[in-house]
Amino acid sequence: MRPGPHRGGGGRSHVTNQIVADSGSYTTKVWHGRAWLHLQSLERGQRIAIPLKGDRLPSGTLRIILQDNGQVAVHHALDETQACSTKPGGSGTVGVDKGYTEAYTDSDGERHGEGLGDLLSQESDARKVKGQRRHKLRDLEEKHQAKGHTRKADNIRRHNLGRQKWNRRRTRHHRQVRDHLCQAAHAVVDKAGTIACEDLSLSMKSTKVRHKDTNRRLNGWVKGVMADTLTSISRRRGSALALVNPAYTSQIDSRTGLLQGHRRRDRFYCLDGVVLDADTNAACNILARLYDAEITLYMPYRDVRALLAERTRLSVGTARSGLELRGLATVPPSTESEVPATVPNSAV
């Protein structure tokens, strides 16, 4: 059973309708074509028999939940290869760029998981408004408490400052986002047997000063969930997921592989005047990074920048290192992540 709140190593449970049973506190068997769970009780030699649906026997640690309708639910972990039966992935090789407005953009120019940015921004804005109203009620409750109006303060705290609706909304939002990302990941795996993806596990630093609303929305970017869903779905469906170094993939001209041109919002302006889609350009660079033997996964970004600058210098001419990166050729490279925004009509 789960250890108590005051025992070493145990947490505190806030639920009263469930218990956790380890593998030594129960036995299972199939009887008359149905699985049965026999759970130990408080009486010596007596066990509680629980009939289960189907003939699959649970194993490992179980979570036994007494539901409001009187039924008992038994939760247990299963290997994802056994629990999920899905069709195999595609046969192509693509690079994918993770984004905020849409989940993924592949090197073929297709976008998967469109509407992700709207879903995240709407929830972030709604939580901001809700939080501001709760702060006002919190200040009012503290004022009544300081004046000795304990009954009024208790009513505000009990009826206006609870967290049940807040937590239910957060849980519902997390499920919507995960479902959206799973659909996007399945769309990528449908066409690719090998997927080159940027490794965004490390924190990204930016020197650009952004508006506080922009920072708040970007903080809600679920890049961890994106990585988990793509990894899990590609593994279940038999596609190979290869992580590559993401340094400067959004600042390279995918046609030449050189640090030429610059990115502005969702467009990449090449040195010869050609305008590319910034996300597709980055996805092509990620795919090319898969076959780049000189840039390894954990290569520091300063070393990547030096290597790319040297390649650009050798390709452009005999000028000294860094000269061709000045002026109109390209803006100085940076390590910050680009923020997607709407492009003015005059820029197209």
Evaluate whether residue 287 is within a structural domain: yes
Amino acid type, 215: N
Closest listed residue to residue 22, CA positions, set 61, 78, 76: 61
End position of a domain, from candidates 198, 218, 244: 244
Q: Which residue has the tokens 């501001």?
A: 132
For residue 222, the model assigns a pLDDT of 80
- Looking at the structure, tell me whether residues 110 and 237 fall in a common domain: yes
Domain end point (choices 212, 244, 276): 244
For residues 56 and 101, membership in a common domain is answered with no
Sorted by sequence, the CB contacts under 8 Å of residue 157 that are 6+ apart come out as 141
- 202-210 contacts at long range (C-beta below 8 A, 24 or more positions apart): 204/335, 204/336, 204/337, 205/335, 205/336, 206/335, 206/336, 206/337, 207/334, 207/336, 208/336, 208/339, 210/339
Looking at the structure, tell me whether residues 156 and 54 fall in a common domain.
no
Provide the pLDDT for residue 155. Answer: 92
DSSP string, 41-87: -SSTT-EEEEE-SSSPPP-SSEEEEE-TTS-EEEEE---HHHH----
Residues 71 and 106 in one domain: no
**Quick one: 238 and 268 in the same domain?**
no
Residue 202, pLDDT score: 60
Is residue 72 a part of any domain in this protein? Answer: yes
Judge if 273 and 231 occupy the same domain. no
Is residue 13 assigned to a domain? no
Q: Are 56 and 130 found together in one domain?
A: no
pLDDT in tens, the chain (348 residues): 444 444 555 567 778 889 899 988 999 999 988 999 999 998 888 999 999 988 888 889 999 999 888 888 999 887 766 666 567 888 899 999 988 888 999 999 999 999 988 888 898 899 899 999 999 999 999 999 999 999 999 999 999 998 889 899 999 999 999 999 999 999 999 999 999 998 876 655 555 666 777 777 777 678 888 888 999 899 888 899 999 999 999 999 999 999 989 998 889 999 889 999 999 999 999 999 999 999 999 999 999 999 999 999 888 754 334 434 333 333 444 444 444 444 334 333
Residue 257 lies in a domain: no
Tokens for 236, please give them. Answer: 């279940």
Query: 99 and 209 in one domain?
Result: yes
Asked whether residue 215 falls in the same domain as residue 126, the answer is yes
Same-domain check for residues 125 and 61: no
Looking at residue 193, the DSSP 8-state letter turns out to be E
> Of the residues 244, 278, 293, which one is the last residue of a structural domain?
244
Same domain, yes or no, for 96 and 72?
Answer: no
Q: Does a structural domain hold residue 180?
A: yes
Asked if the structure places residue 84 within a domain, the reply is: no
Say what the pLDDT of residue 318 is.
41
Instruction: Give me the pLDDT at residue 335, please.
Output: 42
d(CA 189, CA 223) in angstroms, rounded, equals: 18
Three-class SS state of 159: helix
| Residue at 12 is within a domain | no
pLDDT for 339 equals: 40
Range of the domain at 131: 92-244
In a domain, 333, yes or no: yes
Is the domain of 62 the same as that of 98? no
Q: How many structural domains comprise the chain?
A: 3
